[in-house]
Structure formats: structure tokens, C-alpha cells
Chain A
Amino acid sequence: DAGVIQSPRHEVTEMGQEVTLRCKPISGHDYLFWYRQTMMRGLELLIYFNNNVPIDDSGMPEDRFSAKMPNASFSTLKIQPSEPRDSAVYFCASSSPGQGVDEQYFGPGTRLTVT
């Protein structure tokens, strides 16, 4: 398996623009997680899905952030409008606890820079 795939790897955008980050989980995994990593706050969970359904979005910073999972093999995290404080590395991870895969496998991350 190719592992968790994220795109783009790097994104530079101007304040106010819309940003869309993409994730393809490992095939067969039914849980998908979005994390954000910053120097100040470390790794924090933003939202996670089970069988394409959002379960907990309490970590989403504000209404400018939204996430979707239209099918089992694709998820997006959207920021609209983006702000400089959104600059961070965004990770997607997947797991399959029901099949004994409790550990989460992470994608390579997307480094977002908002100028």
C-alpha cells in the first residue's frame, strides 16, 4: 500500500485566499484524522471521521475551517478565508481499530504558509 497520501506537500497563499488540502487514507482504513502542527501548540487534532462521517470536530479552530469526506478514499480540509496564523503543517492520518489497527498512520503532511 502507498500509505496515506496528502497533497499538496507545500502551499503558499496570500491572506484571504481559499486553501484546500487533500488526503487519501490507506485503503480499508475506516478512521481518518486531521491534525495541525505548530511550534506554539504542538500537534493538535482538528477533526476525525469514521466511515466518512464526522465524529468530532471540536478541535476545528473556527468557522473558517471545514472538512469533508465524500467517500472512503478522499477527504479535504478547507480554510476560507486563510489568515497568516493558519500557517502550519497539516497532517492527515488513518487507522482501522475494528481490524486491530489501532495505531494511526500519518501522511507526509502539507506545509501551509499564508502571507
Chain B
Amino acid sequence: AQTVTQSQPEMSVQEAETVTLSCTYDTSESNYYLFWYKQPPSRQMILVIRQEAYKQQNATENRFSVNFQKAAKSFSLKISDSQLGDTAMYFCAFMKHLDSSYKLIFGSGTRLLVRP
């Protein structure tokens, strides 16, 4: 069974600084997707970024980028130029590829506080 671990329950960063959130996962699959979702106080789950395991290039979406280390089964999220609106819970999630289940397995989340 797949598991996703987020070892940092809480983090804080100064506005405009850079912060990295960690995520590790355990799987025997070779082909899969990884996601980061953001959940602000409004509780809406918002997709931040996705990575296909077969792609070596790290995904980037504006100020958000990932460091995907397949051999180490690590998938960290880097937020550059942090903004107050980035304050939220961040969840790392795993999904098997080419599997009709399309289930998302979530980590326990990291609460990020951006300080003014």
C-alpha cells in the first residue's frame, strides 16, 4: 500500500522569503502522479502543482516549484517570494498512474504561516 508522509506539522516564513515543504512517499509503483494541494482557511482544496513520475524535469507553476527525487521517493514544494495569501495547510498527495482507481492518498499536511 502507498503511504505519504509530511514530517513538518507546522512551518512559518517571512513574507517575500522562500520556504520548502517536505514530502516523502512509499510505493512499489514505477508510474504515478504526485500533487500538492493548498487548503486556506476557507477550507477549499486548491491544486497547486502536479508532477508525473516519468518526467525528470521538475514541475513549476509561477512561484511554486517542486524538487522531485524519484529514487529517494521525495517530493518537496518550494514557495518563492512568499505572500500572505500563501498561509494555508499544504497537502502532498499520491496517485497511481494507469490505474482505474485514480485514488488520491494524502499526507497529514503542513500548516504554513507567512508572517508580515
Chain A residues within CB distance 8 Å of chain B = 31, 33, 42-45, 48, 50, 55-56, 89, 91, 93, 95, 97, 102-106, 108-109, 111
Contact = CB atoms under 8 A, between A and B. Distances in A.
A106 B91 contact: no
A108 B35 CA distance: 19
- Interface SS majority for chain B: loop
Given A45-B104, A55-B101, A89-B43, 20 more contacts: A33-B104, A42-B108, A43-B91, A43-B106, A44-B106, A45-B103, A48-B101, A55-B100, A56-B101, A56-B103, A91-B45, A102-B97, A103-B50, A106-B44, A106-B45, A106-B46, A108-B44, A109-B44, A109-B45, A111-B43
Interface in B1-57: 33, 35, 37, 42-47, 50
- Interface SS majority for chain A: strand
B108 A31 contact: no
Interface string B99-113: 011111011110000
B80 to A, nearest CB: 22
Interface of B: 33, 35, 37, 42-47, 50, 91, 95, 97, 100-104, 106-109
Given A89-B43, A91-B45, A102-B95, A42 B102 contact: no
A93 B104 CA distance: 11
B41 to A, nearest CB: 12
B90 to A, nearest CB: 12
Contacts of B50: 102-103
B33 A102 contact: yes
22 contacts: A31-B102, A33-B104, A42-B107, A45-B103, A48-B102, A55-B100, A56-B101, A89-B43, A91-B45, A93-B45, A95-B102, A97-B102, A102-B33, A102-B95, A102-B97, A103-B35, A103-B47, A104-B47, A104-B102, A104-B104, A106-B46, A108-B42
B101 A42 contact: no
